[in-house]
Amino acid sequence: MSQIKIADKTETAFMYKDFLNRALKDIMALVRAECGSLFLFDSQNKELVMNSFYNSSPLHIIGLKHHLGEGVSGKVADILAPVLVKDIDSDSRFSRNGFSHYRTKSFISIPIVCAQELLGLINVTDKANGGPFSEDDLSGAVVIAKYAALALENIIRYSDIKKEKEILAKQKLCLEKYASVGKLAAGIVHEINNPLDGIIRYTNMLLHQSGVNTVIREYLTEVKKGLGRIANITKSLLEFSHQVNSNAAETRKYIDIHELIAEALDLLGSHSAFSKIKLIKQFS
């Protein structure tokens, strides 16, 4: 499964956030909480960032940040386990620091974990009747959070499969293009090889009939070298066409990169523009 970056500003990330916000509202409705918040985990900076806050009081705390282990939310996210606090004043695990803007002393905090990754944290407080949240409230909230995480994991898996399918479709298109090029190369090689065989044969005959130390023999020798390079090129094109049009892995082979570079340099060496350039080849 791909790395989840829910703090990103992408369309997919916004979909995840909207999904978790709906889960928060469902939990608030189930346990009759008047206040709730959603923190999203920024995996790059290792901190929780408040994404949404629902309360009758107009508090401007969107964007509030907590590092793991810091504050109530940071501690719950650090232990990756749901927490029920019935009275924060008597609970030794947490201090009331930063809890003064809530009407009651009880809250539920649930980390959202998907594919063993922390996505965020859902907090609910201020039960409508003014009393503390119960174990039944916690159990119901955890069930919703777990189903939300499971559904989100399936959405992420679907997104990964969709991306992989798109990549495979692009690869298939590239392979089809290579196959077309391979067929074209095979046709070109066939058209070149027919006259090339005759030219090489007649060149060898002329070399056999020419004198040992004549200018004509030197010219014919250079012609033969050039024809040999053409033959090597057509051979490489033919091998390429066989490889791209074959599904059998055993028909494919590795090439010597040094040999390939040397052949390319030999082709360039025959060009007039390189006649006055001294080329030194040194392969590691």
pLDDT tens, the chain, 284 aa long: 444 455 454 566 677 788 888 999 999 999 999 999 999 888 888 889 888 888 877 667 788 888 888 888 888 888 889 999 998 888 777 766 655 566 788 999 999 988 788 888 999 999 999 999 999 999 999 999 998 888 888 887 888 888 889 999 888 888 788 778 778 878 888 888 888 888 988 888 888 888 777 888 888 888 888 888 888 888 877 777 766 666 545 555 667 788 778 777 776 766 666 667 777 778 77
How far CA 179 is from CA of 106, 123, 187, 283, in Å, comes to 68, 57, 12, 33
What is the number of alpha carbons within 13 Å of residue 110 lying toward its C-beta?
Answer: 25
Q: Which residues of 219-236 are buried (b: 16+ CB within 10 A; e: fewer)?
A: ebeeebeebeebeeebee
Q: Are 119 and 6 in contact (CB under 8 A)?
A: yes
What gap in Å lies between CA 233 and CA 183, rounded to an integer?
A: 16
What is the number of alpha carbons within 13 Å of residue 93 lying toward its C-beta?
Answer: 12
Beta bridge partners of 111: 121
What would the pLDDT profile of 64-92 be if each residue is shown by its tens digit? 888 888 888 888 888 889 999 998 888 77
First CA to last CA distance, the chain: 40
What would the pLDDT profile of 119-156 be if each residue is shown by its tens digit? 889 999 999 999 999 999 999 999 999 988 888 888 87
pTM: 0.58
What gap in Å lies between CA 282 and CA 238, rounded to an integer?
A: 29
